[in-house]
Chains A and B, each alone.
Chain A
Amino acid sequence: MSVTDTSPLAKGSYEPVAWNFKLLAQHELQGFGGMGEGMSIQIAPDGRRILWLAHESAPKNFTGVDVSDPRKPKMVVQIDLPQAHMRSNSLEVTDNVMAVAYQTQKVGLKPAGFELFDISVPEKPKSIAFFDCSGPHSRGVHQLWFCDGEYIHLSAGAPDFTPTHPNDDQFYRIFDVRNITKPVEVGQWWLPGTRAGDSAPPPERHPKPLLDRGNRAHNTNVYPDRPDRCYLGYIDAGMFIMDISDKSKPKPISRWDNSPPYTGFTHTVLPLFDRNLLIVTDESTIDNAADWPKLIWILDARDEKHLMPIATCPLPSPEGYANRGGRFGAHNIHENTPRPTAWHSDQIVIGTFFNGGLRAYDISNPFQPKEVGTFIAPAPAMSACKSIQMNDVFVDEREIVYTVDRFSGGLYILEMDF
């Protein structure tokens, strides 16, 4: 039982794994299977269950897949982006309205903002509003959260926002969409020191070039359990719990930042309200595990002003993954999206780890998270990478797991068995 020259490690190849997950179906989405981090489920007026997926990059905007029978997913629509220099990356569905984030490759380009679609007829998404966030220093919207039908919380630049560093262009913005065709901005917050003219000094930067990813917003999660709180990932500035009881004046309550000594890119903050825990993810952004370790962290949040890391979800050491190709490390998790079509669990955390696949953790003892399931798909055909790059995950209320590849594998539909 030792590593020899015949070991799969030596070749950089690997064997697929399905431990306590059962693959029901894979759909390559007609050759456009490079998927981003927007996954949301709609029960259409005719009763079909449509999974909406954002694409990682051009030329596709979003794709709708009928997953009523998870063993036989059927693509119902796939929409092109208006421009090749942009990506959609993130989307959310509330009832029959879908919000889609648009981010451009460079600042100053258009369209950069978010668009709302009426998806009552899934085959024919109808644009009902667009909000422009473009500007000379803006790449538009990277990520958005739209779960209550009233407000969209997002990470975006703005026409009038001049960052003190070009990487710090996207901040936390809140839009009122109660009049769905006329979004109105109601509040914003940025890390003091990241906007030109701030009295605070600009924040320290992570090591250039690869680890300086910006002091900017990523996930902006808000839940009905605490409508006065936003759980905000802020990439190289760690994470914040925001008081949004007055949406016009979001105020930070607490901050937790693992970097340095870790390598930044705080991505998602998932609160488990009953348990007084936060699940915080990093994102791996550099190939070959060069930014290892990128982890899922468990924080004791009994006192929201004094957050205390108590554990991380265990990952295998990087030797077996670094030379598989692509990234290895944490990224997205299932976020207990406050919609009736999402699974809600405070016992299991499910995350995607690029070539580390999809992993489920039992956190019933939050001091000792325990891996209970692993799914590592074979390298998809036509991938730009020689390994799977699991990018995002969503679990519906039927406990069906949907996960996507970043390059070409498209959608994988799984059952949990633990």
Chain B
Amino acid sequence: MNSMLDLFPSRAAGPFGRRLKHARGERIPVTIVTGFLGAGKTTLVRRFLETPQGRGTAVVINEFGAIGIDDALVRASTDEVTLMGNGCLCCTTRSDLQITLRRLVSEREQGTLPPFSRILIETSGLADPGPILQTFATDRALGGEFFVEVVAAVIDASCGLATLDWSAEARKQVILADRLVISKPDLCAPEAIAQLTARLAALNGYAPIDAAIGGVLDPQCLIEAGPQGPQPHAGLIGEAGHSEGIVSFVLSEPQPLAWPPFERAMETLIALRGSDLLRVKGFLNVAGCRGPVLVQIVQHLAHPPLELASWPDADHSSRLVFITRNISQERVEAFLLAVRALAAEAPLNRVAERVNRR
């Protein structure tokens, strides 16, 4: 089988196609704001929309338990655009989300909607964000046109700790987030905040934690996911922390990786345990590639890898965050090592040859 590069070669393209300036490429940035009922998502979103960074944001919101945001920036058809109006967005309205986003874009192209530059999805308080992330995970759904830059979870300072104890959805929201925002910290004692912070760090060791009084937050927090990889407060999360057996960990590797064995290994992992791979995200240093290669997997769905034009800094090591259910770091590491060892004994396959040619 001929590949695109065989048919129409290019010295400018890498094995994964055009090299992008940033992970988003040309795709429309998406911010997902999640958080339990009453946590303060709407207030946070409203404040964000008032900032310069919030300009040109199309808000997609479901009404369930939340206040509709009228007069958001998508004024021409606020009701239809922002209000889904039919239950839990991430569970039963996944197809509606796709239709809504596609219609937004096509009407933007026709000039019937303002030329928004970002989509912000405010999920229902009862929502598990996993299915939404899945919707964005592949080209076949929304991943070709939209890029989830930030998943922000809002946690109520006063009742968040209790909610996390009894609600599996609330825990899932925290676990899958790129950023955690503690709302209403002014209403609580510092000790309570510290306790909540510790609980959040235990659930999600990699997401920066910020606080927002009256919804006021550095707007960059809803635009940038923050640094990938281990954060100062990170630690390997033991299963004891979760009744669901969810763990998160980072695999890092300073040496360039050969793509084919990694790809095969991940295919196998997805085939065997896809439903337990809640989120895998990060950059790989792939042998033969100039820039880092972005890898994103949500359960059974893997987005096609994308190469960036250059590394953001001097650290060129591969960094991959795993959020898994009942799969330990040791298992994943051992599996990847075994596949690499086997592959090293095999002759290079065609893909490897092509990668190494460039």
* Residue count of chain A within 8 Å CB distance of chain B: 43
Q: Name the A residues within 8 Å of B103 (CB-CB).
A: 1
Stretch at the interface among B2-10, B32-40, B171-179, B314-322: B2-10
| Contact with B12, one of A317, A345, A373 (Cβ below 8 angstroms) | A345
Q: Name the A residues within 8 Å of B25 (CB-CB).
A: 372, 418
Q: Name the B residues within 8 Å of A19 (CB-CB).
A: 115, 117
Stretch at the interface among A6-14, A163-171, A178-186: A6-14
CB distance from B145 to the nearest CB of A (A): 9
Asked whether A23 is an interface residue with its Cβ less than 8 Å from the other chain, the reply is no
Asked whether A316 is an interface residue with its Cβ less than 8 Å from the other chain, the reply is yes
B81–A418 contact, CB under 8 A? no
Asked whether B266 is an interface residue with its Cβ less than 8 Å from the other chain, the reply is no
Known contacts A1-B103, A347-B12; decide if A316 and B18 are in contact (CB<8 Å). no
Tell me the bound Cα distance from A376 to B13 in angstroms: 28
Known contacts A362-B18, A362-B26; decide if A7 and B112 are in contact (CB<8 Å). yes
Tell me the bound Cα distance from A20 to B81 in angstroms: 23
CB distance from B118 to the nearest CB of A (A): 11
Residue with the greatest number of chain B CB neighbours at <10 A, chosen from A1, A274, A362 = A1
Interfacial residues of chain A within 237-282, with CB under 8 A of chain B in the complex = 272, 274-277
B81–A275 contact, CB under 8 A? no
CB distance from A50 to the nearest CB of B (A): 27
Asked whether A159 is an interface residue with its Cβ less than 8 Å from the other chain, the reply is no
Contact with A along B9-31 (1 / 0, CB 8 A): 11111000110111001100000
Asked whether B80 is an interface residue with its Cβ less than 8 Å from the other chain, the reply is yes
Interfacial residues of chain A within 335-374, with CB under 8 A of chain B in the complex = 345-348, 362, 364-366, 370-373
Asked whether A45 is an interface residue with its Cβ less than 8 Å from the other chain, the reply is no
Interfacial residues of chain B within 62-120, with CB under 8 A of chain A in the complex = 76-77, 80-81, 103-104, 107, 109-115, 117
A-B contact count (CB 8 A): 87
A320–B110 contact, CB under 8 A? yes
| Contact with A6, one of B76, B109, B110, B115 (Cβ below 8 angstroms) | B76
B8–A372 contact, CB under 8 A? no
B8–A3 contact, CB under 8 A? no
Residue in chain B with minimal CB distance to A415:
B21
Known contacts A320-B110, A348-B18; decide if A365 and B115 are in contact (CB<8 Å). no
Chain A's interface: helix, strand, loop or mixed, by majority?
loop
CB distance from A341 to the nearest CB of B (A): 18
B9–A3 contact, CB under 8 A? no
Q: Name the B residues within 8 Å of A46 (CB-CB).
A: none
A274–B9 contact, CB under 8 A? yes
| Contact with B26, one of A1, A8, A275, A370 (Cβ below 8 angstroms) | A370
Tell me the bound Cα distance from A302 to B8 in angstroms: 8
Residue in chain B with minimal CB distance to A399:
B21
Q: Name the B residues within 8 Å of A3 (CB-CB).
A: 110, 112
CB distance from A148 to the nearest CB of B (A): 22
B115–A17 contact, CB under 8 A? yes
Known contacts A320-B112, A418-B26; decide if A1 and B107 are in contact (CB<8 Å). yes
Tell me the bound Cα distance from A17 to B28 in angstroms: 14
Known contacts A6-B76, A348-B18; decide if A274 and B110 are in contact (CB<8 Å). no
A276–B8 contact, CB under 8 A? yes
Q: Name the A residues within 8 Å of B114 (CB-CB).
A: 15
Known contacts A345-B12, A370-B26, A417-B21; decide if A15 and B112 are in contact (CB<8 Å). no
A274–B115 contact, CB under 8 A? no
Residue in chain B with minimal CB distance to A362:
B18
A1–B81 contact, CB under 8 A? yes
Asked whether A197 is an interface residue with its Cβ less than 8 Å from the other chain, the reply is no
Tell me the bound Cα distance from A348 to B19 in angstroms: 11
Residue in chain A with minimal CB distance to B26:
A372
Q: Name the B residues within 8 Å of A207 (CB-CB).
A: none
Q: Name the B residues within 8 Å of A302 (CB-CB).
A: 7
A15–B115 contact, CB under 8 A? yes
Task: Return the 8 tightest CB-CB contacts between A and B, nearest first.
Answer: A372-B26, A418-B26, A364-B18, A320-B110, A17-B115, A320-B111, A275-B8, A347-B18
Q: Can you identify 16 A-B contacts, CB atoms within 8 angstroms? A: A1-B77, A1-B80, A4-B76, A7-B76, A14-B111, A15-B111, A15-B115, A274-B12, A275-B10, A276-B8, A321-B111, A346-B10, A347-B18, A365-B17, A366-B8, A418-B21
Binding site for A on B (CB under 8 A): 4, 7-13, 17-18, 20-22, 25-26, 76-77, 80-81, 103-104, 107, 109-115, 117
